[in-house]
Chain A
């Protein structure tokens, strides 16, 4: 019974930790501008993150190698270094966007300048990370992020036209570049690489062994699967409430309206709470992902299971990354624009980190009987192709649509 409870608690944290600022931005904007038409892109991204996370979690449980260990050993030093630099770049952009998201949500609670809230938000998160053990961090942000289910409830409350919703899951070829920009953005937002670095390093932090492979599979399939419902909820709610009125949610403050319209003040508070902790949790994950990457690449001691002084270069790394993320925001860049850039650029770097994981997950020398089976093999290569296509299309679409600005 205890085991079942432990597994369930982990899955619940994974659900609440699924959504970040990229998901919020792309899903609500897609719903507002294209109604239900882009729903099909969400499961492509969700299955992708499931496949990638399951493989990297399995590799970590069996070989105790997290993603950047695999990148360094499979790609070697020079290529690994290129992947490291690219990953750090997009991770810091992501971290910066998430800190900006936290600041924007705080601004909806209290009236004060953005830069003050960015600073306070970053300081608050640094303090929480400093004093909270790894599992506590995952749970704190994951559980409170569950408040986002208010958007799913709102979507159902407004009685969607199920026929149109069903139609949205059938991909349609369109000639609009904005439509394809959103397809790429939605897939990319679900497949942010920092989530996988964090997930696989977390497996090492929690000392997973091959006995935890079931937990890994459930976390990835059920946790991310149900987490994906949050994305769908945001898009369907935006399709119902924003699209008919022609509202484009180009400010984060517009998003909580989706919960406020059906549920009033209580809905608003839940929406803000969920957004605050989901986005805050993503900031923590992104800062760790960057620090795990550099520490694993260079072979430094790392991990939250150590005290901050027990892994000092790792500690210094996440402090520096928070400072860098904050610094980017202080230039006055619009956090939502930053979000779009970080999501699209992340997907460009994604195949570089996906290939080595796929290569080791199928390698019996390292994985023994836990190497990729038929399902993981087929899905693994299928996503290899999808990721390369999306990565190649991403930058031209970003430029052609002026980052979704039309």
Chain B
């Protein structure tokens, strides 16, 4: 991708979809790699409610932390390495499956009661 690509305009907050078309979070933050003055590259997309608080205006940040939880990598925030991203068009499409990247865990944990019901 040589052309200009604006991160906030085109990537931040977008839907993440896995290889099976399963929606598995949004781009809640973006991790850049590279010291100032050096070439930077996207390290990973960050997704999960734990990333919310840091984006909320300061006066409400504590409230947001209580509501959505702290930023705990691997628990409330997942890293999706940029190398896992296949395409950024209508949504951010991944090469792999959600479960292999620890995404959409809450959906999987909530499945069982519905599966037991007829028609579920």
Contact = CB atoms under 8 A, between A and B. Distances in A.
B107 A77 contact: no
A299 B46 CA distance: 13
Interface stretch (A239-247, A248-256, A310-318): A310-318
CB-based closest 9 A-B pairs: A299-B26, A309-B114, A312-B110, A64-B90, A299-B25, A309-B115, A301-B23, A73-B13, A77-B55
Given A64-B91, A72-B26, A309-B114, A300 B107 contact: yes
Given A76-B13, A78-B55, A313 B23 contact: no
B13 A72 contact: yes
B29 to A, nearest CB: 9
22 contacts: A64-B90, A64-B91, A72-B26, A73-B13, A73-B14, A76-B55, A77-B56, A78-B57, A130-B117, A130-B120, A295-B23, A298-B26, A299-B16, A299-B25, A299-B47, A300-B23, A301-B107, A302-B23, A309-B114, A313-B106, A313-B110, A365-B10
A69 interface: yes
Dominant SS among interface residues on chain B: mixed
Interface string A114-157: 00000000000000001100000000000000000000000000
B62 interface: no
A65 interface: yes
Nearest to B60: A78
Contacts of B39: none
A308 B47 contact: no
B104 interface: yes
A260 interface: no
A6 interface: no
A107 interface: no
A308 B114 contact: yes
Contacts of B23: 295, 299-302
A80 B117 CA distance: 35
Contacts of A299: 15-16, 23-26, 47
Interface string A310-345: 011101100000000000000000000000000000
Q: Which of B10, B57, B106, B110 has the most CB of A within 10 A?
A: B110
B22 A77 contact: no
A308 B55 contact: no
B111 A309 contact: yes
Contacts of B111: 309, 312
B26 A313 contact: no
A364 interface: no
Interface string B83-120: 00000001100000000000010110011101101011
Interface of A: 63-65, 69, 72-73, 76-78, 80-81, 130-131, 295-296, 298-302, 307-309, 311-313, 315-316, 365
Contacts of B60: 78
A69 B107 contact: no
B55 to A, nearest CB: 5
Contacts, number: 75
A137 B26 CA distance: 29
Interface in B19-64: 22-26, 28, 47, 49, 52, 55-57, 60
A301 B14 contact: no
A64 B93 CA distance: 13
B78 to A, nearest CB: 11
A308 B117 contact: yes
A36 B112 CA distance: 56
A298 B60 CA distance: 19
A64 B90 CA distance: 6
Given A65-B90, A77-B55, A308 B119 contact: yes
Nearest to A72: B13
Most buried by A among B10, B24, B28, B119: B119
B19 to A, nearest CB: 14
Nearest to A74: B13
Given A309-B111, A312-B114, A78 B56 contact: yes
Contacts of A296: 15
Contacts of A77: 13, 28, 52, 55-56
A313 B107 contact: yes
Contact of B120 (A73, A76, A300, A308): A308
Contacts of A80: 13
A349 B29 CA distance: 27
Nearest to A314: B107
B8 to A, nearest CB: 8
A311 B107 contact: yes
A307 B15 contact: no
A72 B56 CA distance: 14
Contacts of A309: 111-112, 114-115, 120
Contacts of B119: 130-131, 307-308
Contacts of B114: 307-309, 312, 315
